[in-house]
Amino acid sequence: MVKPKIALASDHRGVQMKNALAEYLKNKNFDIVDCGAFSEESCDYPDFIIAAAEKVAKKDCHRAIGICYTGIGSAIVANKVHGIRAALCQNIEQARLSRGHNDSNMLILGAGFLPQDMLFPLVDTWLNTPFERGRHEVRVNKIKAYEQKHH
């Protein structure tokens, strides 16, 4: 079986969380594509978040996870990439609903606001929750149609 590919990206404020997540996901048999950052030296999150989002948009990776201090800027920039439905999730229920209802394909985390002990359970929930389809698919298809029309 082919290992699912997950793109990871962060800025300097999220690099520790990204590195911990990379190790965790490798141990869970995911293939990790690390888009940076690679140090805690100040850098600009769009450079790395866009790279990860584009890997999903181009279908080089199944999904992506982006991390910065609040997650807000990363969510904004990720959602500029055609085909990305990035969700900033601060708890397990949001992670579950972002997948089940919104078919999110990029998870955004705020390293400064997510307790370390919630990181792995939240990511596991996001990775393991299927899209529910039904009435939610109608809504997601409206997003896709708008995006197609305005791309």
Residue 40 CA: distances (Å) to CA of 16, 30, 97, 114, 133: 8, 25, 32, 18, 40
Residues linked to residue 32 through DSSP beta bridges, in sequence order: 6
Q: Where are the alpha helices (DSSP H) in the chain?
A: 15-27, 45-57, 72-78, 92-100, 116-128, 135-149
pLDDT per residue, tens digit, the chain (151 aa), is: 567 999 999 999 999 999 999 999 999 999 999 999 999 999 999 999 999 999 999 999 999 999 999 999 999 999 999 999 999 999 999 999 999 999 999 999 999 999 999 999 999 999 999 999 888 899 998 999 999 898 8
Q: Catalytic one among 62, 82, 101, 150?
A: 101
Active site (annotated) includes residue 82: no
CATH code, domain with 99: 3.40.1400.10
State how many domains the chain has. 1
Which residue is it, tokens 């997510």?
114
Measured CA to CA, the distance from residue 126 to residue 119 in angstroms comes to 11
pLDDT number for residue 118: 97
> What are the strands of the beta sheet with 63-68, ordered from one edge?
31-34, 5-10, 63-68, 106-110, 86-88
Query: How far apart, in whole angstroms, are the C-alpha atoms of residue 74 and residue 14?
Result: 11
Q: Count the neighbouring beta carbons within 10 Å of the beta carbon of residue 83.
A: 16
> Which domain range does residue 50 map to?
5-149
